[in-house]
């Protein structure tokens, strides 16, 4: 288990809810790439970039069809990585896209995605996690506010803030159907969350996260200072967001589904260690422990 002396990003000590400054770069020196200087500056400042319709409609349609196929197959076979919504039998997430589907593996390796990831992270990358998130009309539940890095550090053993997520909208994301919300600039601060990590926490947190989340006071102060932005756009829009940016989404009570592919690129120089919470590592479908560089 990490200690306050050995781990600058310690968290989940009983009763401790505090913040500290980030110690890692936001944009690592990746040299030339598809991102402009202005885009790199905006990513450094806000912690995310939105590219409307970066992926064409034919590829989006193929991914949506593949996502539905994987969901049906996963339920029939009882595959690991099939997550069901709390209080219903609706599929919430399907993991391991890069291993279960050639189509998704090819999408991940496309220049639109991996080129930007390499530029932001300063070199070769691998897939830490991949999944499809389903938020069906009327039934899609919320994802509470959190920093991904806090979880990946404490429960997976990710040492430093050198990862970026890419979310591809497979359906329109609008102001009504529970789009992802982000707090711009929040990635410059690390929030230590109170509470001790329960055993097998991932079995609960994938359905409803209650540990590794900031307090209401922390969130209130953060939003007052920096505000909230929502990631909206038509199908094919791609959101890149930094591993420590605070984000979440509300439930979907509209008839309009909100579905998307979600993947995490981690630097090959930032491979996982033992979890810093002193717990057994989470399953491989959540955290890749045998990284293969994305070609």
What residue segments make up the domains of the chain, in order of their start?
25-32+48-270
Beta-bridged to residue 168, according to DSSP, are 238, 261
> Could you give the C-alpha distances from 56 to 1, 63, 262, 267, in angstroms and in order?
45, 11, 17, 27
* Mean pLDDT, all residues of the chain: 90
3-state secondary structure of 253: coil
- What pLDDT is recorded for position 227? 98
pTM score: 0.91
Superfamily of domain 25-32+48-270: q2cbj1_9rhob like domain (2.60.120.620)
Q: Which stretches within 109-153 are classed as H helix?
A: 116-121, 148-151
The structure tokens listed for 121 are: 């992270």
pLDDT tens digits, one per residue of 137-153: 888 888 899 999 999 99
pLDDT tens digits, one per residue of 71-93: 888 776 667 777 776 666 777 88
């Amino acid at each position: 288990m990490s200690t306050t002396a050995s781990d600058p990003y310690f968290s989940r000590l009983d009763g401790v809810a505090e913040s500290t400054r980030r110690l890692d770069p936001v944009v690592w020196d990746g040299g030339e790439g598809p991102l402009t200087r202005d885009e790199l500056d905006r990513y450094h400042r806000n912690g995310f970039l939105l590219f409307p319709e970066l992926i064409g409609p034919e590829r989006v349609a193929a991914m949506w069809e593949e996502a539905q196929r994987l969901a049906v197959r996963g339920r029939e076979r009882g595959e690991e990585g099939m997550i069901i919504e709390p209080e219903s039998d609706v599929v919430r997430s399907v993991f391991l896209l890069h291993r279960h589907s050639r189509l998704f593996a090819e999408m991940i390796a496309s220049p639109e995605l991996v080129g930007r990831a390499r530029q932001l992270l300063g070199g070769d990358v691998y897939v830490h996690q991949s999944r499809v998130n389903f938020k069906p009309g009327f039934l899609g539940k919320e994802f509470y506010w959190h920093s991904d890095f806090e979880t990946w550090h404490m429960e997976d053993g990710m040492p430093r803030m050198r990862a970026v997520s890419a979310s591809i909208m497979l359906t329109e994301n609008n102001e009504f159907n529970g789009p992802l919300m982000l707090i711009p600039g929040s990635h410059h601060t690390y929030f230590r969350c109170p509470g001790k990590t329960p055993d097998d926490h991932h079995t609960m947190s994938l359905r409803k996260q209650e540990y590794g989340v900031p307090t209401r006071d922390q969130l209130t102060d953060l939003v007052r200072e920096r505000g909230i932005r929502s990631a909206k756009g038509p199908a094919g829009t791609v959101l890149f967001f930094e591993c420590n940016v605070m984000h979440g989404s509300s439930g979907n009570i509209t008839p309009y589904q909100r579905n998307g592919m979600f993947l995490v690129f981690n630097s090959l120089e930032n491979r996982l260690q033992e979890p810093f919470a002193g717990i057994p590592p989470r399953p491989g479908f959540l955290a890749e422990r045998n990284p293969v560089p994305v070609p």
